[in-house]
Amino acid sequence: MMEANSFQLFPDQASSIASHVDALYAFLVLVSAFFSLLIAFLIVYLVVKYRHRPELGPPVAQHTNDHGPGSMILEIVWTVIPLGLSMIMFAWGVSIYFTESRPPADSMEIYVTGKQWMWKIQHMEGAREINELHVPINRDIKLTMTSEDVIHDFYIPAFRTKSDVLPGKYTTEWFKPTKLGAYHIFCAEYCGTKHSGMIGTVYVLSETDYNTWLGAGSGEGSMAEQGQSLFNQLGCGNCHPSVVNNQNGRCPNLVGLFGTRVQLKDGSNVRADESYVRESVLYPQAKIVAGYDDIMPTFKGLITEDGMLKLIEYIKSLGTKNGTMTTATPLPVETSASPQPSTHAAAPGKTAPRTAQTPALQPQRIQ
Ligand code: CUA
């Protein structure tokens, strides 16, 4: 716990990976310490052993480049041992790196948006928080993160995990908290004058406490439901069918899209992941789906990063390649609405910067 008042060299080991990271670190320190001491000892020992003695007279210069036959065994020993040690460090490090960079498939998803200088967190169920992150213990948690401005880095020392948070891109980070308590969140990438103040707290709760906390949430509906409202407000449903077996020929049906591979007009294909959805909303011309025309206008400036994450959750809720359907109900297609692209731009409402207290249903310009 961060309130601990005793002196601590290391943060708590509060996640499943923490002890592994610390073990590797301890190994590196021990190997370095051993060789540092060995070399220091040899320097002193050899200086004393081969010191100049007055009874030997003045030193005699050795006029030869012949250092003798050398020792093959010595050469092999001091090559193979360091090689072996560095290979152990390499394999061990890679194994931890791969574990940390691959979130387990059934992870609970939470969204993080970095902004000068705060962390905005959204839970799938709709709860939102700023500079605080509540998580249940003993669950795999996957953070999907992006930035509204510059590069930040989401770092939880007690979980031994950190990852850059980049504008225009989604990065992930996962952990499994194993110890109840409150732990520091830091921004670990210099991001401007108040970088050092871009901190927060992660609260690890029991499953029951977490559900109670979630239940006391915003009452704005799940992220997918909020995404559906946004989908309506932006007029996406005027063109994109979001019910099964509805095809209007103008815009791709979004049901079951997420996670599939999409065939593009130029013959290539792309996986429909978070980044693809984001790009398609902001830069619709970038990847045109095979069989469709370049008619979609950009929504750049009409949707915040938080709103984008809600839209993505809504599209995920329309089904994934695994056929899982989640909370949101499919949207009926408004067949009477005008299909003209100009309807897309009808919605933007200028409102105050969003906080945990203000409703998020209005599309807003990025501040
Ligand atoms: Cu954000 Cu440093």
Same domain, 237 and 210: no
Distance 356 CA to ligand 1 centre (A): 20
Distance 271 CA to ligand 1 centre (A): 30
For residues 302 and 366, is the Cβ–Cβ distance under 8 A? no
- For residue 154, tell me if it sits in a domain: yes
Same domain, 124 and 248: no
Same domain, 272 and 346: yes
DSSP per position, 261-308:
EEEBTTS-EEE--HHHHHHHHH-TTSSPBTT--S-PPP-TTTS-HHHH
Which burial class, exposed, middle or buried, applies to 182 when counting CB atoms under 10 A from its CB (0-12, 13-18, 19+)? middle
- For residue 333, tell me if it sits in a domain: yes
- For residue 161, tell me if it sits in a domain: yes
- Compute, in degrees rounded to 10, the torsion defined by CA atoms 77, 78, 81, 82: -170
- For residue 349, tell me if it sits in a domain: yes
367 residues of the chain, pLDDT tens digit each: 445 567 888 899 999 999 999 999 999 999 999 999 999 999 999 999 988 888 877 766 665 555 666 788 889 998 999 999 999 999 999 999 999 999 998 899 999 999 999 999 998 887 888 999 999 999 999 999 999 999 999 999 999 999 999 998 899 999 999 999 999 999 999 999 999 999 999 999 999 989 888 877 666 778 888 888 888 888 787 778 776 666 666 778 888 888 888 888 888 888 888 888 888 888 888 888 887 888 788 888 788 888 888 888 888 888 765 444 444 444 443 333 334 443 343 333 333 333 333 333 333 343 3
Pocket lining: 145 vs ligand 1, CB cutoff 6 Å: no
Out of 220, 244, 265, a domain closes at 220
Predicted pLDDT at 358: 36
Out of 169, 188, 220, a domain closes at 220
Count helices and strands (H / E) in the chain. Answer: 6, 12
How many angstroms separate the CA atoms of 139 and 136, rounded?
Answer: 6
Same domain, 244 and 207: no
- Residue 212 is inside which H or E element, if any? helix 207-215
How many angstroms separate the CA atoms of 320 and 236, rounded?
Answer: 19
Which residue type does 190 have?
Y
Same domain, 24 and 160: yes
- For residue 66, tell me if it sits in a domain: no
Atom 1 in ligand 1: residue holding the nearest Cα: 152
For residues 250 and 292, is the Cβ–Cβ distance under 8 A? yes
Tokens encoding 367: 């501040």
Q: Are strands 269-271 and 261-263 parallel, antiparallel or unpaired?
A: antiparallel
Helix, strand, or coil here: 343? helix
Tokens encoding 174: 């996962």
Ligand 1 atom nearest residue 150's Cα: 1
Tally of domains in the chain: 2
Pocket lining: 192 vs ligand 1, CB cutoff 6 Å: no
Pocket lining: 344 vs ligand 1, CB cutoff 6 Å: no
Total-model pTM: 0.67
Which pLDDT tens digit goes with each residue over 263-322? 888 888 888 888 888 888 888 888 888 878 887 888 887 888 888 888 888 888 887 654
Same domain, 252 and 115: no
Helix, strand, or coil here: 241? coil
Predicted pLDDT at 217: 61
Rg (CA), the chain: 29
Tokens encoding 137: 């213990």
Predicted pLDDT at 365: 40
Predicted pLDDT at 255: 82
Question: Length of the chain, please?
Answer: 367
Same domain, 27 and 140: yes
Distance 154 CA to ligand 1 centre (A): 8
Same domain, 205 and 134: yes
Out of 220, 245, 271, a domain closes at 220
DSSP per position, 14-66:
-BTTHHHHHHHHHHHHHHHHHHHHHHHHHHHHHHHHT---GGG-SPPP-----
- 21: domain range? 12-49+103-220
Of 141, 159, 164, 137, give the one whose Cα is nearest residue 22. 159
- For residue 334, tell me if it sits in a domain: yes
For residues 167 and 148, is the Cβ–Cβ distance under 8 A? yes
Same domain, 190 and 112: yes
Predicted pLDDT at 306: 81
Pocket lining: 189 vs ligand 1, CB cutoff 6 Å: yes
Pocket lining: 152 vs ligand 1, CB cutoff 6 Å: yes
Tokens encoding 324: 């899982």
Q: What is the CATH number of the domain that holds 345?
A: 1.10.760.10
Q: What is the CATH number of the domain that holds 178?
A: 2.60.40.420
- For residue 68, tell me if it sits in a domain: no
How many angstroms separate the CA atoms of 323 and 244, rounded?
Answer: 12
How many angstroms separate the CA atoms of 9 and 3, rounded?
Answer: 14
Same domain, 339 and 239: yes
Same domain, 227 and 173: no
Ligand 1 atom nearest residue 117's Cα: 1
Ligand 1 atom nearest residue 198's Cα: 1
Same domain, 118 and 232: no
Pocket lining: 195 vs ligand 1, CB cutoff 6 Å: yes
